[in-house]
Structure 1
């Protein structure tokens, strides 16, 4: 099972709205639908999000993550909010594993209080994240447009259900992930990121060149989702699978501890843009089957968060 690579040039961010080749869009939509009904993941090349924007976000994130813990703690994610720094071993994405994940993260939206951000130590932090968020938002919306076409519904339907991304009433989040170098013993059963599927509609994932991500298509063992320069890796979330009555598949994925010591000593980074419908959107099966009970976008997300985060230490 190979994760397909799709040329997104016909609907790239560099293509002005209203100037798309409709026939080409249909072809990309069909390729996306095929990927999301089989593998659940797809690489998009020629997506139009500038490489320097991605690199700037990686760079400022790394600078933050390499600060001492006592500094990062000032910006920690509170128990009643999803935004801010997530400490090492704070999450357990696979509850069946006995110990928490060996990673850190920083979650950010455009609506976050800038007073809680590390602007005192990194003045450009919000500016850099905002640019990455805004461009990812438009790219995500274009992927949703093509998914609508592939599902044979109105092209604007899914975009309209996500129209408040970056504003109040929508939980779409840009997450910077950091897997620090492993310099001491790993706990039995511990991994960098436990087996899980994402929660929302789709995820845009930008990887560094270290690699380590593995995905598990239905009926197959885990396969590498190795970095491909210039691409963004897109995958389905559980909410979209529910929304499509299992027509599209949210595939489990993980990041294990590298077997080679030389790789263990390298830190790993990725940027995940989690696309979530507007909070008040009611998720009901698009095919009218009623296979799943209706639930609001925000209620579903909060339910998943409650099962993910370990009890906040006091």
Structure 2
């Protein structure tokens, strides 16, 4: 069942950016409630320049318009790298369902040193690399501010989460959901993106105006997360779920094949904020107590991500 209400919270991040403690604390408390009740919220006034987002979407459309043979020259190769082009149906976000009706391109901050994975940039398109590198930096800056707010909400030092993410082991993912052919009928369980939770700490999701994202409520209803101009969708992932002892929930979501938009191209950009691979994920002290014992054993962020990607791609 899919509905349109109740409403996913919309939070104005401007007061947190202003630097006044009382305002920052109020915003942090709202983010905590939204992350506990929903695991999702819309963030307005996050400080990202509108033209940076516009250029990123334009560059994404240009990449996906390239011939398939050219995109396959930079194809995704393995979970260790997790970079490059992912073809339609190559990925199964819900392992029990058919491959997703989408294509994607993954990139990440590039680290110096021999043997370190590098981005698989398409040759002959230097503008694409420049735009995406700039947008990736914007996403990192925004995510760090969100992580500061989460730390305040959980009574931790301001840099608690930022320090655990300072090696920038993040992934930026461009997504294209091609229009479905006239008369196309999805196979059993087939969708644009199967139901799943995200793997890392937080995700920043930028949508075009087509829509299709659906979020599962605590009651089990699928609710449409309609695009709201000037906002970014923020959700908490599996590692934040573990870190906070389920205080911040990792909520299942999907991209459905809605009848009214099945003939349209849909584009989105997701920034998956992931802790340093060697970061130990242990329940935060303020999230455990006499009547709230730790529910998960310690793990490392790298081990967790490797397991999740292996399940997704079957490699």
TM-score by length of 2: 0.90
Which of 267, 270, 276 is 1:269 aligned to? 267
Matched with 1:37 is 36
Q: What CA distance in whole angstroms lies between the structure 2 residues aligned with 1:126 and 1:11?
A: 32
Alignment of 1:181-200 (within 5 A): 181-183=179-181, 185=184, 186-200=186-200
Deviations 1:206-240 (A, max 9, x none): 00000010001212401110000000000000110
Alignment of 1:162-241 (within 5 A): 162-165=165-168, 170=169, 172-183=170-181, 185=184, 186-241=186-241
Matched with 2:113 is none
Matched with 1:4 is 9
Cα RMSD after superposing both structures = 1.4
Instruction: Decide whether the 8 Å contact of 1:119 with 1:125 is kept in 2.
Output: no
Instruction: Decide whether the 8 Å contact of 1:90 with 1:310 is kept in 2.
Output: no
Matched with 2:160 is 157
Shift of 1:106: 0.5
Deviations 1:132-179 (A, max 9, x none): 1101101101000010111111121011111111xxxx2x11111110
Q: Which runs of 5+ in 2 are unaligned?
A: 1-5, 111-116
Shift of 1:79: 2.4
Q: Does 1:140 align with 2:143?
A: yes
Q: What CA distance in whole angstroms lies between the structure 1 residues aligned with 2:167 and 2:118?
A: 17
Residue aligned with 2:32, SS: helix
Matched with 2:3 is none
Residue aligned with 1:75, SS: coil
Q: What CA distance in whole angstroms lies between the structure 2 residues aligned with 1:153 and 1:173?
A: 25
Matched with 1:304 is 308
Please identify, of 272-281 and 283-292, the stretch whose mean Cα deviation from structure 2 is larger. Answer: 283-292
Instruction: Decide whether the 8 Å contact of 1:11 with 1:47 is kept in 2.
Output: no
Q: What CA distance in whole angstroms lies between the structure 1 residues aligned with 2:70 and 2:60?
A: 14
Residue aligned with 2:73, SS: helix
Shift of 1:68: 1.7
Q: What CA distance in whole angstroms lies between the structure 1 residues aligned with 2:304 and 2:25?
A: 31
Matched with 1:243 is 243
Q: What CA distance in whole angstroms lies between the structure 1 residues aligned with 2:231 and 2:294?
A: 36
Residue aligned with 2:151, SS: helix
TM-score by length of 1: 0.91
Instruction: Decide whether the 8 Å contact of 1:88 with 1:104 is kept in 2.
Output: yes
